[in-house]
Structure 1
């Protein structure tokens, strides 16, 4: 697969998302699933209950995933998206099991994972969770991030595919009461197994309950090239290669 620079980046800038149906081969998809299945399901990043299995900082929890990802077309894609280089800043594995009643309301991804709490202009609010500290950064930091969702199962409206509002990322961070009025024109992003969805964090997105017996397993990877100010570091920062 080739990644033509103008078409890909122009679409991502205009719509806030791009679908790539064949980023991973069937063998690469199977290798990622095998590595995840073989990992011990315990540790600070693991969350499991009947409606969700998630692993935060999944590349840190399962180091074998990195070598598999490096051998795919992902590095070539990143070279197009970030010609001057980038780093991974967050990695999460989601498994939305069959008949899950878990849904996600309309939102933007406004928080980044950092190594500690440091008062800085434009940074806040702050939160502290078991996995660490997160903060909402200035808009420019969020606009530099690109999320790549690698779909390890076929995903459609029946098993919880993301719904997005094309172009909504251009409005910048929105307050909660503003969201409902901005969901007109939402579309469902169906992605086959081995496909990828690229999206900007400020894109309005949501997902419904699963109505299918099929799982929806996704590797959620966030990449950025912009440095954070002195005194603050990305908590999960790593080079993919």
Structure 2
């Protein structure tokens, strides 16, 4: 897949994000929804309230979902992103229901989930929550990661579409003051149902409160080709192909 000046590949590199509006047709989206809704929704990886429904370690909790996600269209997208091969490193399901009234402040996605703690140069600080370990890795690890946000519902500014600061991923890991200086204005990324938003973890992004009766359901997948230094391993690693 050859890049052109206006291709999603070129925009992902220069702007830190890109939109792929028709990744899954309506029938496949319906199958994805049915599969997620069949999950038992119990255990520490499930969070359900009036304002949010989320599933962490999504493919571990809903094992039948990956065969539905792994379509030829997604495979072609991943081949373009990682020609030498890659792996999935994180999967989350988010549902921002119609009655939700929470916002997400400007931030970068800096932490990665790993199998264990190991004191290695460039890795830290560390966090541990509900027995799971995460760490801030060196910038070159984050620069290798690409997030694919698959939208189950039409998403715009009224129901919490992401806002981004284009090209902010080029600044590396930003201290709070530097990030605040860049976020005076953001670009809203509207995505139709079945479409995907691709983004770099270091891209500054946020979302407003929902003012619409429509939900905003997203399957959030993170992919990489980089290997972590031993003994670290990606906790949710799934080899592609």
Fold agreement, TM-score > 0.5 = yes
Provide the rounded CA distance (Å) in 1 between the counterparts of 2:129 and 2:122: 21
Secondary structure, aligned partner of 1:202: coil
Matches within 5 A, 1:65-80: 65-80=65-80
RMSD over aligned CA atoms reads 1.1
| 8 Å CA contact retained: 2:50, 2:99 | no
Distance apart, 1:185 and its partner CA: 4.1
Provide the rounded CA distance (Å) in 1 between the counterparts of 2:51 and 2:118: 35
Distance apart, 1:72 and its partner CA: 4.6
Distance apart, 1:9 and its partner CA: 2.2
| 8 Å CA contact retained: 1:109, 1:202 | yes
| 8 Å CA contact retained: 2:29, 2:152 | yes
Distance apart, 1:239 and its partner CA: 1.9
Matches within 5 A, 1:24-103: 24-103=24-103
Secondary structure, aligned partner of 1:147: strand
- Residues 240, 65 of structure 1: CA spacing in aligned structure 2 closer, same or farther, 3 A cutoff? farther
* 1:143 corresponds to: 143
* 2:8 corresponds to: 8
Provide the rounded CA distance (Å) in 2 between the counterparts of 1:240 and 1:43: 27
Distance apart, 1:179 and its partner CA: 1.7
| 8 Å CA contact retained: 1:70, 1:240 | no
- Residues 60, 27 of structure 1: CA spacing in aligned structure 2 closer, same or farther, 3 A cutoff? same
Aligned length, in residue pairs:
239
- Residues 131, 215 of structure 1: CA spacing in aligned structure 2 closer, same or farther, 3 A cutoff? farther
TM-score of the aligned structures, taking structure 2 as reference length: 0.96
Provide the rounded CA distance (Å) in 2 between the counterparts of 1:64 and 1:114: 23
Runs of 4+ in 1 over 2 A off after TM superposition: 3-9
Distance apart, 1:175 and its partner CA: 1.1
Matches within 5 A, 1:93-172: 93-130=93-130, 132-172=132-172
* Larger deviation, residues 206-215 vs 129-138: 129-138
Provide the rounded CA distance (Å) in 2 between the counterparts of 1:184 and 1:130: 35
Distance apart, 1:101 and its partner CA: 1.1
* 2:217 corresponds to: 217
* 1:204 corresponds to: 204
* 1:181 corresponds to: 181
Deviations 1:181-221 (A, max 9, x none): 11144100000000000000000000000001000000000
Provide the rounded CA distance (Å) in 2 between the counterparts of 1:86 and 1:132: 23
Secondary structure, aligned partner of 1:128: strand
Provide the rounded CA distance (Å) in 2 between the counterparts of 1:121 and 1:101: 41
Secondary structure, aligned partner of 1:34: helix
Provide the rounded CA distance (Å) in 2 between the counterparts of 1:25 and 1:131: 38
| 8 Å CA contact retained: 1:5, 1:80 | no
Provide the rounded CA distance (Å) in 1 between the counterparts of 2:117 and 2:177: 28
Deviations 1:43-73 (A, max 9, x none): 2210111111000010110011111012351
Provide the rounded CA distance (Å) in 1 between the counterparts of 2:21 and 2:148: 12
Gaps of 5+ in 1: none
